[in-house]
Amino acid sequence: MNPAGLYIHIPFCRSKCAYCSFTSYPCAGHDLDGYLAALTQQATQMATHPCVRERTFASLFIGGGTPTVYDGNQLADLLKTCRSLFRFANVSEISIEANPNTLTFQKTSALRQPAPYYESGGI
Ligand code: SF4
């Protein structure tokens, strides 16, 4: 079975650009924590499906929206959740869409966490 790519959508931005046709909403007035909790719940359910359980993922892309509206700990937890639920190839590409004005040293440091599972060939 060919490796697949895993896409996670974060539909929030600091504000909604007039020209944007992506599924995105301004952070204000939306439950960002609730969305992350629901996302984790849905990913946990999907990971048990045979079509997903038997897959090896070659890439993970967290897009949006602006995923970096979340803080570093939340983003690191999201990565950890994905790593614990899904099997990744030894050499995997992990990318996140970012708006430069939402990036901080704390966020980029949190995202640059070690991934020992790569060396063991997945979970
Ligand atoms: S996804 Fe990009 S273009 Fe669309 S509202 Fe957010 S920042 Fe603007």
33-79: per-residue pLDDT in tens? Answer: 999 999 999 999 999 999 999 999 999 999 999 999 999 999 999 99
Distance of CA 102 to the CA centre of its chain: 16
Ligand 1 proximity of 20 Cβ (cutoff 6 Å): yes
Instruction: Report whether 123 contacts 117 (CB < 8 A).
Output: yes
Percent of residues, the chain, with pLDDT higher than 90: 80
The domain ranges of the chain are 4-114
pLDDT class of 1 with cuts at 50, 70, 90 = confident
Mean pLDDT (the chain, rounded) = 90
Question: 35 — phi, psi (to 5°)?
Answer: -65, -45
For the CA of 65, the closest atom of ligand 1 is 1
**Strand locations in the chain (E):** 4-10, 12-13, 25-26, 57-64, 88-96
pLDDT class of 119 with cuts at 50, 70, 90 = very low
* Across 21-25, 55-59, 65-69, 91-95, least confident range: 91-95
pTM of the complete model: 0.88
For the CA of 21, the closest atom of ligand 1 is 4
Segment 78-94 shows an average pLDDT of 91
C-alpha to C-alpha distance for 17 and 31, rounded to whole angstroms: 20
Q: Return the structure tokens found at 35.
A: 């969305």
